Structure formats: structure tokens, C-alpha cells
Amino acid sequence: MCSRIQWNSKGQPVLVGRNMDWTDWQTKMGTKLRTMPAGVEREGLVDENPLKWTSKYGSVITTVWDCATADGLNEAGLAANLLYLAEANYGERDSSLPGVSIALWVQYFLDTCATVAEAVEAAKACQVVPFQLVHMGENVNAPLHLSLSDASGDSAIIEILDGKPHIHHGPEFTVLTNSPVYDEQLVLLKQYDGLGGTKPIPGTMSAEDRFARSAYYLTRLPEQPASYQVAVAGVLSVIRNAATPFGGSDPAQPNNATTIWRTICDCTNKRYYFEFCHMPNVVWVDLDDLKLSAGASEQLFDLDADNDAAGDVSGKFKPAEPLVFQKANTPVTWTPAA
């Protein structure tokens, strides 16, 4: 489930769009927006040799289940997005490597890295350890992979396969969905018209079809849009084309699930857009208008509790207790508020 695209053209902002797809669309995964200030000491929440760091950059993030960072943008212009990957295999714990719970994986990069290149090197020096979640009635190690983007247009895809990070690094890696693994997705892509082959662009909800459709429509965006608003709207038009409608979840195919929310990261201008798919309103924040310096408290904005909010919601964030991240190898027990 989920789709991600990155678009940038000469003289245009680097824009990253993503869909979050999930089977339980009614609860919306308890999704909220939070600010994470600089200067916070964290650890990786594993039993042995936890990774330790102090946040260098503030960020705005999207949290799920009140215990994990799923998406976000930091004040250096680095964007990170978690997506579903059924083939993820975390392997055995190697305590010689500093470990980090996957609940903090996105946050670690946003806290400590300004560029994709820095994040790629950081990914090689630690081990990601999953938490457990109930999906389709089964308790599983959270099967996820990660995309990264920065203000230069650089990009990376990181998959944990056989216990090790498999990394595709370069500005050409502009699209990510789900299964199969990324190497195979790139091969499948070449069979379609406009992308190396002759087959027509597919239209189903499957991950490989969303991958091809997103890659194709990215090539159709104008290199020089008429305005900034048109550039953002163009990226929205492509990522919405990869969405799965309400009622589209297939219990037999976890890679096919309803799109419940969407973000756009403007890595150039440090603006973060968010929308719930069951609502027509888009909200955004400019990171320069948020309290992200060392010593600031975490702040929270819950669009699900403020259905009339639209446009710039920087002033709607309120002080909040620090997020309690999910420890590795423990089950998520979140339940929606009554």
C-alpha cells in the first residue's frame, strides 16, 4: 500500500507527493501532525546497543497510532516517507550495530540529516528493528520501506531485505509503491509505452500498476508550470491518480487498500501539505513559521478534530506532551478514542 512520487524541473521546487493507503480507513490510523524541535536527545528503543542522537534539525511530521513517524519534512529540506513492503525482512538482531526501532526510522533521518547523501550513509551504520502490528488479523513485523528526497532533487529508496539495507540512490528514483521489491519494479516498468515498451499504461489498483502509472504521468507534467500553485497542483494530479478509492481495500491483497491521507513536501520552500481523503480541504504549514528551535516544546495539530481547517494552519498547532515512540519488538496496542 502507498505511493510516492518526486518531481522537479529546472527552476522549479522539488515536490514530493505520497499517498498513505491502509485497510482500516475509518480510523485513519489516528493520524496527526506534530512539530519536532531541534535539541532533543533520543535513543533507538531497542534492548541492546540502542542508537543515540540529539536532533540537529527541527521537523514537521505525520504520526500514526500515536507512536511512530510515518512521513515528514525537516528545516534543511529533507523529506522522508514510510511505505508498505510485504517483502521486508529485518533478519536477526546484530547487537554490534546501533539499533533503531522502525517507529523512529524516519525521525532519525529528519533529526540528523540535511541531505539524502547524509541519510544514505547514516542508514548503512545502524540496524532497523521492527515493531509488531496487527494487520488483516495477523501479528506481523511492520513490513515497510523508505524514500528520501532533498532540496537538490536527490532521492533514495531504502529496503531492508535479508536483514540488510538495499539502497537505490540517485535523482532518477522518482517513484515508489509496494511489491515487488524495487529492482523488480524497475524491470517491470520498461514494458510500458513511453517508458521503454509497447504495453498501454495500466489502470488497476495493484502496486506495480500504480508504479507504472505514476512514472508515466510524471513525464507529462509541464517543465515550466504557469505558477507555483500550478506546480503543486500538478504533483497532486499525479499522486491522486495513484490513489485507491474508499471501498477499494482487498482483504486477500494487503498491497491494495484505500488511500486515507496524502502529503506534499516542498523541499525547496520548506512547506508541508496534508489532506485527509475523506475531506475536501488541504492544509499546509511553512516550517519557518513553526517553533522548531532547541528548547521549544512539541506541538500538535489534529485535522480530524478540526474539520473546518483549510489553508495555512501554522497558527493552529498547540503544545503537546512528547510523542512516545513504539519500542522495537513490541506490539502496537493503539485504539481510536471514543
Residues with a known catalytic role: 2
Distance CA 212, CA 90 (A): 27
Burial of 200 (0-12, 13-18, 19+ CB in 10 A): exposed
Instruction: Give the chain's length.
Output: 338
Cis peptide before 180 (omega within 30 of 0): yes
Q: Of the candidates 288, 291, 327, 276, which has an alpha carbon nearest to the alpha carbon of residue 99?
A: 327
Distance CA 203, CA 327 (A): 39
Distance CA 82, CA 145 (A): 6
First CA to last CA across the chain, in angstroms? 27
Burial of 89 (0-12, 13-18, 19+ CB in 10 A): middle
Cβ proximity of 37 and 13 under 8 Å: no
Q: Of all residues in the chain, what percent are helix, strand and coil, respectively (each to 5)?
A: 20, 35, 50
Q: Which residues contact 22 (CB under 8 A, 6 or more apart)?
A: 1, 29, 257, 258, 260
Cell triple for residue 123? Answer: 542508514
The DSSP line for 192-253 is BBTTTB-BPPP-SSSHHHHHHHHHHHHTTS-SS-SSHHHHHHHHHHHHHHT---TT--BTTB
CA atoms within 13 A of residue 202's CA, in its CB half-sphere: 15
